[in-house]
Amino acid sequence: MKTAIIILSIALLAGCSQRPAEIEPAPQVESTTPIPREQAIAIATKAHNMAYDRSGQIEVELKNGQYIVTFPIDKSTKPGTRYRGPDYAARIWLDAKTGEVLEAKVGG
């Protein structure tokens, strides 16, 4: 029994003295899927620091590999008048895969 334990111990120690095989890091592969809509809104909100109508709906459109995030503007007017301002408070274009801000327009 002692002999078996000694042989097993020597085998384990011999295995431990070997250098582990070097593992190559996994190659960085660009994602083929777009970031989530919520993340696109968060990035655009951070990039756009102007006021917008928070009671309105933020529009998000995915088109040609880009998110277009449109922030609403308050279009309320006095009774008897017509709104003549911009269609939106801001519009932000993002790369849909990376979230990089590509373009930003205010009040168009």
Domain limits for position 52:
37-77+84-108
The CATH number for 45's domain is 3.10.450
Distance separating alpha carbons of residues 5 and 17, to the nearest angstrom: 18
Query: How many structural domains compose the chain?
Result: 1
pLDDT at 64: 95
pLDDT, position 11: 44
Q: What's the CA gap between 92 and 103, in Å, rounded?
A: 6
Q: pLDDT value at position 5?
A: 47
| Residue-level pLDDT at 59 | 95
Q: Give the pair of three-digit tokens for residue 53.
A: 């109508």
95 in any annotated domain = yes
What would the pLDDT profile of 37-86 be if each residue is shown by its tens digit? 999 999 999 987 878 899 999 999 999 999 999 999 988 877 888 888 88
Q: How far is CA 56 from CA 2, 11, 72, 106, 107, in A?
A: 80, 71, 6, 16, 15
pTM score over 0.75: no
Residue 45 tokens read as: 């909100």
% of the chain surpassing 70 pLDDT? 70
Cα 48 to Cα 41: distance, rounded to the nearest angstrom? 10
Instruction: Tell me, yes or no, whether 107 lies in a domain.
Output: yes
Residue 9 lies in a domain: no
In the structure encoding, which two tokens stand for residue 30, read together? 């660009």
* Rounded distance between C-alpha atoms, residue 72 and residue 56, angstroms: 6
DSSP string, 34-88: PPPHHHHHHHHHHH--S---TTSPPEEEEETTEEEEEE-------TT----S-S-
Is residue 4 in some structural domain?
Answer: no
* Residue with the larger pLDDT of the pair 95 and 8: 95
